[in-house]
Structure 1
Amino acid sequence: MNKLVDMQEDLTRAKTLEDLQSTTEALREEFGVTHVVYHWVNSVGERFGCGTYSSEWVDRYLEKDYLYIDPVILGCLNRFDPVNWKQLDWSTKATRDFLKEAIEYGVGPQGFSIPVRGPNGQYALFTITDSRSDDAWEAFIEERKRDLILIAHAFNLKALSFEDGNFSTIRPSLSPRELSTLALLGKGRNRAQAAAELAISESTLRVYIESARHKLGALNTTHAVARAMSAGLIVV
């Protein structure tokens, strides 16, 4: 419990998206779950996120426009109470296929999402996922539900403070390699070409991309390049 309190205090001191990303990773370890994700839409419709889903799953989700069939998103839009994913409607073939693919990408078959709402239409979703059995998952949620709700609202308070302080002016600290990687991708290089120009392997390039994406709170690589450009971090 003391460690969880420490994490809440870390959230209050967070100054960048990188700080929020680090907190999701620490929470994953603290709760012993597969993934922790926080995603919000601010009052002007901009979307941001941080969490531990793989970039492959995030890219696939966006590529297939799963936002429009995802029972978690659709099921939480009009509710205020936390929801165990088993309570949602997975009856259609499209949603069953979606869940199967999510599991293949490492999301896990179990999930628990907490919708949080702020002023002027701000909306957020705090989610944890795992691979426990149904009974074990129910027991876990029963035991940790209060902590999860407190953390969800702590995340949202910090997101709102970022927005109140003009979120767009918060400049994440990217390393020179991360900046060079995004700049090359922004100029139209593919990953193999960018790796060759930087004289590194594609696997190392991927590490830089993932690190930059998390620091920028970007949903995918294209979003990371766009956010870096809008923040004045790179010029292409």
Structure 2
Amino acid sequence: MSCQAPGAEEGESQASGRVSGAPGWNAPAQQGIVLPGLGRRCAMSLVPVTAARAMAAADSPSATLRRRDLCSRGIRLAGKMRSDVVDLLDTYVERQGLDASASVAAVEGVPAAAAERWDEQTGTQRLLENLAAYRAFRALLAQMLEEQREQLGEADAALGRALAAVLLQVSAFAYHLEELLQLESRGPPSEEGAGPPPPPHLSLFERKLRGLGVLRELAQWAVRSARDLRQLAKPSLAPSPAESP
């Protein structure tokens, strides 16, 4: 049965106005658009308003250009962050009296940058894993900065400034990832209950090694993030609003 009816074009125009909030329209946003004069079967076959808008926005040229712009800027941010973290690693090792080749255990609460079956991940999975990692790094770097101030005070202001600068970049990058998730009609997950566990009771030397491990893993994540965003910028691999993690 055809969904076209006499006056359908006029009805569509009226319905469009009603959806936008015109008087007399009280249907919920998730309900299908019911055009005047159409049967129940046609009305039920229409796409829900919210889903239709999300699909149209995700596929629009402006959304595609916005996604590419965000990915390009994210790649530059990741490259700058990695460069600064590498410089910070050199300074950290020197000021903390550590061996640059020291073996460090995996840091609890930080997802490993290495991923199995990386090429099979969806775009949404990439964004969510990156966001979880940078939220964890944000908390860990804040802990490191606090420990640094307690340990040395103003005696090593240069190291404190470098840590604070990287912390700022990590926070900015996390926000950038949230923007990408919003663009894909998939809002970022809540931070309630998220983040690394409380810092364990460690000796001074153990805290130094833990900080070294955090910075090393952050450098690896900066490399992975740039790679993920390059994949995400490819039209065929961009996540859709309906894509599940």
Q: Shared fold by TM > 0.5?
A: no
Instruction: Give the strand-richer structure, 1 or 2.
Output: 1
Q: TM-score, normalised by structure 1?
A: 0.25
Give the number of the structure with larger relative contact order, counting CA–CA contacts within 8 Å between residues 6 or more apart: 2
Instruction: Give the helix-richer structure, 1 or 2.
Output: 2
